[in-house]
A and B are shown apart, each in its own frame.
Chain A
């Protein structure tokens, strides 16, 4: 908890707050809503970049904590931001339904399945970004590039799938409350992937960070 507070008070970058409110793009018609999750990835990159510029690692590693504690805190803190992003996304989905929704031609409609989609995007981001980042914390841009390519490929595939793959086109990309069981299962699958992927990311990142020599 102390480490999470340290992340929030000393490492949080203003884009973290700004990108949370970019979930309001859900209200925009004809937009690939998965991109709002990418914006949070961008905020995470800025957090890591700011940490580097502020010599956060050398400060943290002189505190009575282990390297594993430092890694766990950073990824969990980013995980909290991602969950907050999805919660806010849910709020905007409800607002969109309240003011009247229409089909989205650029990927999944705003609805339950989109939350599952967001979890898959975050799982993908966490599994690629953090293990690469903790291999060399002085190069957060390189890991962000690889994670961004993977996320955009997934978002592109998802948009294409809403036209070509029957499960996406006929079941997931429909207005709620149609096909809620399938959408619920898809979202649960996304949640499982998000939790397992983030846990895997933490373990892998700890191993990488434990073995590197830090040039601080």
Chain B
């Protein structure tokens, strides 16, 4: 109970059934002041999980708590402590940023105008502009500025780097690291795993609605190795394989670290782990 009280977000046994998709028994708990990467391919259930966390959809089963508080009794307190940013959503595209901010701040007694100005300056945002006039990266930065100015301790980001160029993604990763330094918790869903390798402390891997991994980035990456082979995968490697991918000169095969000792192998990137595991799931 004590650890649940301290955790910015605890999800226990989350289930949601749709006719063509099931989110099954997803459970995890976040540690304050860390960056958590929530990965999985498109359609794996990341957005369904986030929508359940934000109470946009009603889970069929499970418990979600924020610093020990639950919906719907503590709806308002919970929302004061979290900030949500989604790449796919832009609010009121033809309103000036200052108008949107003017309305937003009235809902937060702890709104910090000084912090807001600081974030606007640091992101190079002009309040006279409308969201329609901002690039995707700047829209996300504006949404972040709003969330950070009302004192959100937990930032929930749904695919924030999708559709951004590498430089903008790099800038956002730097922002997330800065937020972590300030003690904020960043829960960050993405399928662009290279961003997470630069900043995440922990990885949650969701596959077909099932949470397949919940580990530190280092441990998770260390648990896997990549073996490169020619156009034929040897039978002993095939037996140890947890997914293989065709490359220009043959195949790359993902194997567990303990099974990799008899092969010449190298470190696996997060993307390679995800892609190989997805291929294995597809073939199964």
Q: How far is the CA of A59 from the CA of B79 in the complex (A)?
A: 12
Which of A48-78 touch B at CB < 8 Å?
A: 54-56, 58-59, 61-66
Q: How far is the CA of A66 from the CA of B75 in the complex (A)?
A: 7
Q: How many pairs of A and B residues are in contact by the CB < 8 Å rule?
A: 66
Q: Is the CB of B99 within 8 A of A65?
A: no
A214-B108 CB under 8 A given contacts A9-B102, A56-B91, A65-B76: no
Q: Is the CB of B91 within 8 A of A59?
A: yes
Question: Which chain B residues border A64 with CB–CB below 8 Å?
Answer: 75-77, 79-80, 107-108
Q: Is the CB of B58 within 8 A of A211?
A: yes
Which of B55-74 touch A at CB < 8 Å?
A: 55-58, 72
B92 within 8 Å of A (CB atoms): yes
Question: Which chain A residues border B75 with CB–CB below 8 Å?
Answer: 64-66
**A interface SS class:** helix
Q: How far is the CB of B161 from chain A (nearest CB, A)?
A: 19
Which of A195-216 touch B at CB < 8 Å?
A: 211, 213-214, 216
Closest Cβ neighbor of B109 among chain A residues: A64
Q: Is the CB of B54 within 8 A of A9?
A: no
Which of B83-110 touch A at CB < 8 Å?
A: 83-84, 86, 89-93, 95, 99-100, 102-104, 106-108
Q: Is the CB of B79 within 8 A of A62?
A: yes
Q: How far is the CB of A79 from chain B (nearest CB, A)?
A: 20
B51 within 8 Å of A (CB atoms): yes
Q: How far is the CA of A213 from the CA of B95 in the complex (A)?
A: 28
Residues of chain A at interface, number, CB under 8 A: 20
Q: How far is the CB of A4 from chain B (nearest CB, A)?
A: 11
A5 within 8 Å of B (CB atoms): yes
Q: Is the CB of B103 within 8 A of A213?
A: no
Q: Is the CB of A59 within 8 A of B92?
A: yes
Q: Is the CB of B79 within 8 A of A54?
A: no
Residues of chain B at interface, number, CB under 8 A: 30
Q: Is the CB of A9 within 8 A of B107?
A: no
Q: How far is the CA of A81 from the CA of B143 in the complex (A)?
A: 31
Q: Is the CB of A63 within 8 A of B57?
A: no
Q: How far is the CA of A9 from the CA of B86 in the complex (A)?
A: 23
Which of A1-52 touch B at CB < 8 Å?
A: 2, 5-6, 9-10
Q: How far is the CA of A2 from the CA of B57 in the complex (A)?
A: 25
Q: Is the CB of A54 within 8 A of B92?
A: yes
Q: How far is the CB of A68 from chain B (nearest CB, A)?
A: 10
Q: Is the CB of A213 within 8 A of B56?
A: yes
A2-B72 CB under 8 A given contacts A10-B92, A213-B58, A214-B51: no
Q: How far is the CA of A5 from the CA of B91 in the complex (A)?
A: 16
Question: Which chain B residues border A62 with CB–CB below 8 Å?
Answer: 54, 79, 82-84
Q: How far is the CA of A49 from the CA of B77 in the complex (A)?
A: 30
Q: Is the CB of B76 within 8 A of A214?
A: no
Interface string of B125-159 (1 = CB under 8 A from A): 00000000000000000000000000000000000
Cβ contact of B89, chosen from A5, A55, A63, cutoff 8 A: A55
Choose among A9, A58, A62, A66 the residue with the greatest number of B CB atoms under 10 Å from its CB.
A62
A10-B95 CB under 8 A given contacts A61-B54, A63-B79: yes
Sort A-B residue pairs by CB-CB distance and give the 9 closest, nearest first: A213-B57, A64-B79, A64-B76, A59-B91, A214-B56, A54-B92, A64-B80, A62-B84, A63-B107
A-B contact pairs, 21 of them (CB 8 A): A2-B106, A5-B103, A9-B95, A9-B103, A10-B91, A10-B95, A10-B100, A10-B103, A54-B91, A56-B91, A59-B91, A61-B55, A62-B79, A63-B107, A64-B75, A64-B77, A65-B75, A65-B76, A213-B51, A213-B56, A216-B51
